[in-house]
């Protein structure tokens, strides 16, 4: 028995002994009157504390322990301890709940919870975005009243949730493609998970387009080649015709070789996650090389000039830079009719190394300019093919420049010519001291 109860029992025993003593000395009536008086006092005492307890239970004040003597003091103290423990437990559960909600909110996927009547109980911000919902406003609404897409309604009602559903044109902007899957749980409740697959679908369709484009690009020269082969096998040809056919077959074979070469270059650039190197390039040699290539390709049909700052250089990968800038120069030669001019400059402007190719060629209609760096995108298909183009040159340029943090700017006017400007960042630009002096 604890000390409090011992004290209470001892007090009662003392009171009883006092009553007996009063009875012995002052008579039974006085003892009875004393006992009744004690009972009334005790009654008031108990009532007072019961009322305090009542008020305390109605509006508990955490951290405050009402003071009282004896057993009541102990009762208040224990109640206070219990309330403190509950309070701590409730706070812990609330914090866990808040963390859980934060975790689901942080998920890149949409999460929505439905009750047993398919009414929305809760959903995170991503599910709001995918379904075009408002978590507060739409709470307790039947989900099919808000997501009326017939495919979704059918899927939800069919109760076969093994497969996921792909929904296009989702969200308020109708621009999302979303995969949706339902997971039943608990008492006929449902968890809906959504995932934005817009980008995935886009890359998938790009991949399909790419495969179709490559097949198409290779199919044409292959068809021509096999046609010539058949002709050569079936028909008796004189030496001149045989030579002519062989030349044409060689042309088609080299076209296929060029396509495969550029595809490999692109694949290497795309797959290479390493930065392109920090070595300073010998840009004087690069420019000389570009000039020789341009003159060889033009074969005197154009007026070609190079104005280069010999001291100016950049940090990067030489073969990549050479191939990117070379593509721009050879394009200028290929898309400029005979007699035209091609002007190349390599100069430092506002701390940046700038490479410019200006031609007086065919020019490019404005609507084509944003798409020029797409693979196999051509403005003039037949001119591209006739001049040995693969449609991959500017895609390679784009990748190389991206890897060197450089930017490409294209200005063009139909019939007047084009200007391709490459700006390397200041962080890659340098001046060779010996030459600069």
Smallest separation, CB 243 to ligand ADP (Å): 28
Measured CA to CA, the distance from residue 21 to residue 95 in angstroms comes to 62
Touching ligand ADP, residues 259-298 (CB under 6 A): none
Asked if 372 touches ligand ADP (CB under 6 A), the answer is yes
Asked if 124 touches ligand ADP (CB under 6 A), the answer is no
Q: Rg (Cα) of the chain, in Å, rounded?
A: 44
Distance of CA 90 to the CA centre of its chain: 37
Asked if 362 touches ligand ADP (CB under 6 A), the answer is yes
- Structure tokens, 293: 């290539």
Applying CB under 6 A, the site for ligand ADP has a residue count of 22
Asked if 360 touches ligand ADP (CB under 6 A), the answer is no
Which pairs with CB-CB distance under 8 Å and at least 24 residues apart come from 270-275?
Answer: 270/399, 272/403, 275/403
Using the contact rule CB under 6 A, the part of the chain among 177-185, 239-247, 318-326, 377-385 near ligand ADP is 377-385
Identify the residue among 252, 331, 360, 429 touching ligand ADP (CB under 6 A). 331
Asked if 356 touches ligand ADP (CB under 6 A), the answer is no
Asked if 217 touches ligand ADP (CB under 6 A), the answer is no
Determine contact, residues 217/395, Cβ cutoff 8 Å: no
Please name the residues in contact with 70: beta carbons below 8 A apart, sequence gap of 6 or more: 4, 7, 8, 11
Identify the residue among 194, 252, 390, 429 touching ligand ADP (CB under 6 A). 390
User: CA neighbours within 13 Å on the CB side: how many for 166?
Assistant: 5
Of 92, 379, 392, 100, give the one whose Cα is nearest residue 260. 392
- Measure the N-to-C terminal CA separation of the chain; round to a whole number of Å: 102
Measured CA to CA, the distance from residue 52 to residue 66 in angstroms comes to 9
Identify the residue among 170, 287, 324, 332 touching ligand ADP (CB under 6 A). 332
Asked if 31 touches ligand ADP (CB under 6 A), the answer is no
Residue 431, burial from CB neighbour count under 10 angstroms (0-12, 13-18, 19+) = middle
Asked if 340 touches ligand ADP (CB under 6 A), the answer is no
Going residue by residue from 291 to 330, which x/- string records binding to ligand ADP, judged by CB under 6 A?
------------------------------------x---
Smallest separation, CB 219 to ligand ADP (Å): 17
Identify the residue among 252, 356, 384, 429 touching ligand ADP (CB under 6 A). 384
What angle in degrees, to the nearest 10, is found between the helix axes of 198-234 and 239-271? Answer: 160
Query: Which CB atom, from 167 or from 392, has the smaller least distance to ligand ADP?
Result: 392
Query: Which CB atom, from 372 or from 406, has the smaller least distance to ligand ADP?
Result: 372
Residue ranges in contact with ligand ADP by CB under 6 A: 327, 331-332, 335, 359, 361-362, 364, 372, 377-380, 384, 389-395, 418
């Amino acid at each position: 028995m604890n000390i409090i109860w011992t004290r209470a029992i001892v007090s009662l025993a003392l009171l009883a002994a006092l009553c007996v003593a009063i009875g012995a000395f002052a008579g039974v009536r006085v003892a009875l009157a004393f006992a009744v008086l004690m009972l009334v006092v005790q009654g008031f005492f108990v009532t007072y504390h019961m009322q305090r307890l009542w008020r305390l239970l109605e509006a508990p004040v955490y951290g405050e322990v009402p003071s009282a003597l004896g057993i009541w003091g102990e009762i208040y103290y224990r109640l206070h301890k219990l309330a403190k423990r509950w309070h701590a437990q409730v706070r812990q559960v609330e914090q866990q709940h808040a963390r859980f909600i934060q975790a689901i909110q942080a998920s890149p996927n949409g999460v929505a919870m439905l009750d047993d009547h398919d009414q929305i109980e809760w959903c995170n911000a991503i599910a709001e975005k995918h379904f075009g919902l408002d978590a507060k406003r739409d709470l307790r609404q039947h989900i099919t009243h808000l997501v009326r897409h017939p495919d979704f309604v059918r899927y939800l009602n069919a109760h076969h949730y093994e497969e996921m559903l792909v929904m296009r044109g989702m969200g308020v902007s109708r621009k999302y493609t979303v995969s949706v899957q339902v997971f039943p749980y608990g008492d006929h409740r449902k968890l809906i998970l959504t995932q934005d697959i817009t980008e995935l679908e886009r890359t998938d369709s790009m991949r399909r387009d790419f495969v179709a484009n490559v097949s198409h690009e290779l199919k044409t020269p292959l068809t021509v080649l096999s046609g010539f082969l058949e002709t050569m096998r079936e028909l008796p040809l004189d030496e001149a015709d045989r030579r002519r056919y062989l030349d044409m077959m060689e042309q088609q074979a080299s076209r296929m070789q060029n396509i495969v070469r550029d595809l490999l270059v692109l694949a290497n650039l795309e797959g290479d996650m390493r930065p392109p190197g920090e070595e300073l390039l010998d840009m004087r040699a690069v420019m000389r090389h570009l000039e020789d290539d341009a003159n060889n390709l033009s074969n005197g049909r154009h007026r070609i000039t190079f104005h280069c700052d010999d001291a100016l250089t950049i940090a990067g990968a030489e073969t990549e830079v050479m191939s990117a800038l070379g593509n721009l120069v050879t394009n200028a030669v290929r898309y400029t009719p005979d007699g035209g001019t091609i002007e190349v400059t390599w100069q430092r402007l506002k701390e940046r190394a700038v490479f410019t190719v200006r031609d007086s060629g065919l020019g490019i209609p404005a609507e084509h300019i944003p798409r020029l760096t797409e693979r196999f995108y051509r403005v003039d298909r037949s001119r591209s093919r006739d001049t040995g183009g693969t449609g991959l040159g500017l895609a390679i340029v784009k990748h190389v420049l991206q890897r060197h943090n450089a930017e490409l700017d294209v200005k063009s006017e139909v019939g007047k010519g084009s200007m391709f400007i490459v700006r390397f960042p200041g962080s890659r630009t340098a001046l060779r001291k010996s030459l600069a002096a």
